């Protein structure tokens, strides 16, 4: 399950986790958590042992809408997130989620993905 829409809210995640078996994992998208009004520090400890994939993107909040930006230029604490994953010996995938199809206004993938790759390699 992905931390998306209603599952990006801490209270809803807590309710769900209490009903799930231990073998159910999550796609963790901290940008969704932050946009939903919570923080990485609040939610990560709840699901850290269940994360099977991480979606990475950075954004600023402009008029209650997300404006996706280069890594490190927004409000998503990417350095802290990667640090926490490293400290917990996370061994699965980290993928950049850059959805041009749903957000045609964002920068071209061949440009932004190179920036994310360089940025994430420094952190990893």
Q: pLDDT (tens digit, 9 = 90+) per residue, 24-45?
A: 999 999 999 999 999 999 999 9
Judged against a pLDDT cut of 90, whether residue 68 lies above it is answered with: yes
Residue boundaries of the structural domains of the chain:
5-123
Q: Quick check: 67 and 27 in contact, CB under 8 A? A: no
* 64 Cβ contact partners less than 8 Å away, ≥ 6 residues apart: none
Mean pLDDT, residues 109-114 taken together: 95
Model confidence pLDDT, tens digit, residues 84-98: 999 999 999 999 999
The CATH homologous superfamily of the domain defined by 5-123: Divalent-metal-dependent TIM barrel enzymes (3.20.20.150)
Model confidence pLDDT, tens digit, residues 1-24: 899 999 999 999 999 999 988 889
Q: Residue 59 and residue 70: Cα distance in Å, rounded? A: 8
Q: Note the pLDDT of residue 57.
A: 97
Q: Note the pLDDT of residue 111.
A: 95
Q: Note the pLDDT of residue 21.
A: 85
Say whether pTM exceeds 0.85.
Answer: yes
Q: Quick check: 91 and 113 in contact, CB under 8 A? A: no
Judged against a pLDDT cut of 90, whether residue 112 lies above it is answered with: yes
Q: Note the pLDDT of residue 98.
A: 94
Q: Residue 85 and residue 11: Cα distance in Å, rounded? A: 22
Q: Is 53 helix (H, G, I), strand (E, B) or coil?
A: strand
Output Rg (C-alpha) for the chain, integer angstroms: 14
- Left (φ > 0), alpha (ψ -120 to 50) or beta: where does 5 sit? left
């Amino acid at each position: 399950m992905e931390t998306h829409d209603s599952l990006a809210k801490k209270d809803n995640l807590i309710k769900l986790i209490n009903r799930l078996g231990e073998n159910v994992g999550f796609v963790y998208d901290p940008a969704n958590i932050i946009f939903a009004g919570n923080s990485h520090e609040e939610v990560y400890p709840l699901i850290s042992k269940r994360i099977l994939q991480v979606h990475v993107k950075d954004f600023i909040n402009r008029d209650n809408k997300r404006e996706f930006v280069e890594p490190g230029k927004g409000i998503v604490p990417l350095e802290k997130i990667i640090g926490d994953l490293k400290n917990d010996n996370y061994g699965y995938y980290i993928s950049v989620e850059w959805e041009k199809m749903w957000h045609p206004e964002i920068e071209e993938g061949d440009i932004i993905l190179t920036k994310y790759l360089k940025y994430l390699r420094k952190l990893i």
